[in-house]
Amino acid sequence: MDSGRAEAFSDGVFAVAITLLVIDLLPIGSGPDLNAHVLLHHWPEYAAYVVSFLTIGIMWMNHHTILGHVSRVDRPLLALNLFLLLGIVAIPFPTALVAKHLTGPGGAVAAVTYGLVMIAISFGFDGIWVYVVTHAAALGAPLPREALWQSIPRFTAGLFVYVVGTLIAAFASAPAAVAIYGLLAVYYLFEHLPSPAGGDAPAGADGGDGGPGGLAG
């Protein structure tokens, strides 16, 4: 299958998933009384919305970077991509848990669930990246074998932060964990990656820097 088709479908899923996040906000203010206090009281909903929105947005960028290396996709890559999207589409669920329980007794369970979904998505990105690098020729991807080893630090970095966040959620503070998830997204949003506009840059270096690294690696 031409990779453009798989990308277009994935883009559609990302676009719908990121937009469905607003559904969690709609019940706010549906009671008879509406005032500024009521609206501000729901700050966990807004925080969860912003964190998940930025996270899905960056994951979309990473997904695009990875699939941008290949010129065609085969059935195993489609299967791996489907497992990744299974996690992406689920994001509104832990987001809703965090939105409703962040400051209550269920906050730890909510933030741990959020972290576990992110860890699963990180493994999904890693799996796709490993498959792309190890099947570069068949997929029409101009990636040297070393791209895999070069990208290991980034692989580990994002995953490590999510594991730390999940542990903090479990044993220390749910709001602190959510703040970590959000800071991770903001960090990768502004991190100045090597210019993807530079078509002359070796593909391996680009893959190692912009590929599964980033938020989801």
Contact status: 183 vs its own copies (CB under 8 A) = no
Q: Kindly tell me which of 146 and 187 has the beta carbon lying closer to its own copies.
A: 187
Contact status: 162 vs its own copies (CB under 8 A) = no
State the minimum distance, in angstroms, from the CB of residue 215 to its own copies. Answer: 12
Go through the chain and tell me how many residues it has.
Answer: 217
Judged by CB under 8 A, the chain residues 22 through 81 that form the site for its own copies are: 22-26, 28-30, 32-36, 39, 49-50, 53-54, 57-58, 60-61, 64-65, 68, 72, 74-76, 78-79
Q: Kindly tell me which of 72 and 205 has the beta carbon lying closer to its own copies.
A: 72
The span from the CA of 166 to the CA of 160, in Å, is 10
The span from the CA of 109 to the CA of 105, in Å, is 9
Six token digits for residue 59: 């994951």
Contact status: 153 vs its own copies (CB under 8 A) = no
Q: Which are the contacts of 185, defined by CB distance < 8 A and separation ≥ 6?
A: 51, 54, 55, 57, 58, 215
Judged by CB under 8 A, the chain residues 88 through 107 that form the site for its own copies are: 89-90, 92-93, 96-97, 100-101, 104-106
Q: Kindly tell me which of 1 and 172 has the beta carbon lying closer to its own copies.
A: 1
Contact status: 123 vs its own copies (CB under 8 A) = no
Of 6-14, 118-126, 144-152, 153-161, which part binds its own copies (CB under 8 A)? Answer: 6-14
State the minimum distance, in angstroms, from the CB of residue 87 to its own copies. Answer: 10
State the minimum distance, in angstroms, from the CB of residue 22 to its own copies. Answer: 5
State the minimum distance, in angstroms, from the CB of residue 29 to its own copies. Answer: 5
Q: Which of the 8 DSSP states describes residue 71? A: S
Contact status: 201 vs its own copies (CB under 8 A) = no
DSSP string for 116-169: HHHHHHHHHHHHHHHHHHHTHHHHT----THHHHHTHHHHHHHHHHHHHHHHHH
Six token digits for residue 26: 């709609």
CB burial of residue 208 (10 Å; 0-12, 13-18, 19+): buried
